Amino acid sequence: MTSKIKPAKGAAYARIMGVGGYRPTRVVPNEEILKHIDSSDEWIRSRSGIATRHWAGPEETVSAMSVEAAGKAIADAGVTPEQIGAVIVSTVSHFKQTPAIATEIAHRIGAGKPAAFDISAGCAGFGYGLTLAKGMVTDGSAEYVLVIGVERLSDLTDLEDRATAFLFGDGAGAVVVGPAKEPAIGPTVWGSEGDKAETIKQTFGWDVYRRTPVPGGDGPEARMALEDIRYPAITQEGQAVFRWAVFEMAKVAQQALDAAGVSPDDLDVFIPHQANMRIIDSMVKTLKLPENVTVARDVETTGNTSAASIPLAMERLLATGQAKSGDTALVIGFGAGLVYAATVVTLP
Ligand SMILES: CC(C)(COP(=O)(O)OP(=O)(O)OC[C@H]1O[C@@H](n2cnc3c(N)ncnc32)[C@H](O)[C@@H]1OP(=O)(O)O)[C@@H](O)C(=O)NCCC(=O)NCCS
């Protein structure tokens, strides 16, 4: 039987056309983290590479940070908000399951009536969103797609957990994906390892809520201040995640290079998820990247911003002239799930 459906009329290829970022104004140095945990600036810097991170204030909501980053990405791409046909928001720190924050963001940027939805793919979220966007552009479902990675991980940080208190930061990064005449986003190598789902997780229960006031009650709990309420914090088995990232993710990065037909010598820029400087260094070594490859080391001043980390690092490399438009970049995200996604892109 012959199909009655006409072939898709999308673009031949897709590319990242523009990038934008938003970093909260408040910079939090390690000294501030040390008020709550027994550690040292030296330990945090040497084990994670992190010196400072940005934490959002009350006005810097998931939506507000996204709107800022999206506006810059749209301007950088040279399109108008009305041309955006789909908005994909990757986040794990927007607290409503429904409605998706993407619809509010689409409305606030003046995008008309685009398709809009959220995805939850942890620190691989940007790569997942980028892959969906590429598919939409090449199958004609949308001409221009806005992909946002945004997190307020400070809301999910247990300040007294010395294994995680220093790791996380807040921010938003966005790109616009649109039509291209030649390949500019390679095949994505992605996947999940659900047998390791427990290695990074949110902790619910009385461990977390022990200070929640009892509404209407007059017992000791009821007198607890509201500001003492804790969101379910992210906990992780640091060493297990570290080993997985170092050994398995270098292989995935190599597979993405192979799938795109790009050798390390052809590469200009490497933008791994900004989780830990030692993971970044180890991947550079295993992949045998030549010295002239620019490596994103945004983690030092941004911390781990999960889905936002790759577009934020990309934006900074371009803004500071460390990378330039047209450069060939390997991007790889990995994290809670465990999930991962790697691809080779041409920088906007
Ligand atoms: C979190 C992380 C920096 C911890 O580093 P580590 O070298 O694995 O540290 P360990 O947990 O093995 O602890 C090593 C020692 O430091 C101590 N330590 C742990 N946290 C500490 C802290 N904040 N300050 C000082 N000492 C600390 C431990 O007690 C341990 O001491 P011991 O050797 O006397 O037992 C590291 O595991 C990591 O980055 N993991 C991956 C994180 C990540 O990328 N997550 C997100 C993926 S998306």
Query: Does residue 275 line the site of ligand 1, with CB under 6 A?
Result: yes
Q: Which two tokens stand for residue 266?
A: 């052809």
Adjacent-strand bridge partners of 22: 172
Which pTM does this prediction carry? Answer: 0.92
Query: Does residue 236 line the site of ligand 1, with CB under 6 A?
Result: yes
Would you please indicate which residues are annotated as catalytic (active-site) residues? 123, 273, 304
Query: Does residue 163 line the site of ligand 1, with CB under 6 A?
Result: yes
Ordered domains of the chain (ranges, CATH): 13-180 (3.40.47.10), 189-198+237-346 (3.40.47.10), 200-235 (no CATH)
DSSP 166-225: TTB-EEEEEEEEEEESS--B---EEEE-GGGGGGEEEE-SHHHHTTPPPTT--STGGGS-
pLDDT value at position 219? 45
pLDDT value at position 204? 59
Classify residue 261 by its DSSP letter. Answer: T
Minimum CA distance residue for ligand 1 atom 7 = 47
Taking the centre of ligand 1 as the mean of its atom positions, its distance from the CA of residue 160, in whole angstroms, is 14
Pocket test for ligand 1, best of 32, 34, 47, 280 (most atoms within 8 A of CB): 47
Rounded CA-CA distance 312/66 in Å is 12
- What pLDDT tens digit does each residue of the chain (348 aa) get? 889 998 888 999 999 999 999 999 999 999 999 999 999 999 999 999 999 999 999 999 999 999 999 999 999 999 999 999 999 999 999 988 899 999 999 999 999 999 999 999 999 999 999 999 999 999 999 999 999 999 999 988 988 889 999 999 999 999 999 999 999 999 999 999 999 999 998 875 434 443 444 444 444 444 444 444 456 788 889 899 999 999 999 999 999 999 999 999 999 999 999 999 999 999 999 999 999 999 999 999 999 999 999 999 999 999 999 999 999 999 999 999 999 999 999 999
Pairing of strands 233-236, 200-203: antiparallel
Minimum CA distance residue for ligand 1 atom 12 = 239
Q: Which two tokens stand for residue 59?
A: 């006005």
Query: Does residue 159 line the site of ligand 1, with CB under 6 A?
Result: no
**Looking at ligand 1, which atom is closest to the CA of residue 166?**
23
pLDDT value at position 231? 62
User: Is the link from the previous residue into 99 a cis peptide, with omega within 30 of 0?
Assistant: yes
Query: Does residue 242 line the site of ligand 1, with CB under 6 A?
Result: yes
Minimum CA distance residue for ligand 1 atom 4 = 238
With a CB cutoff of 8 Å and minimum separation 6, the contacts of 157 are 164, 165, 167, 168, 233, 234
pLDDT value at position 212? 43
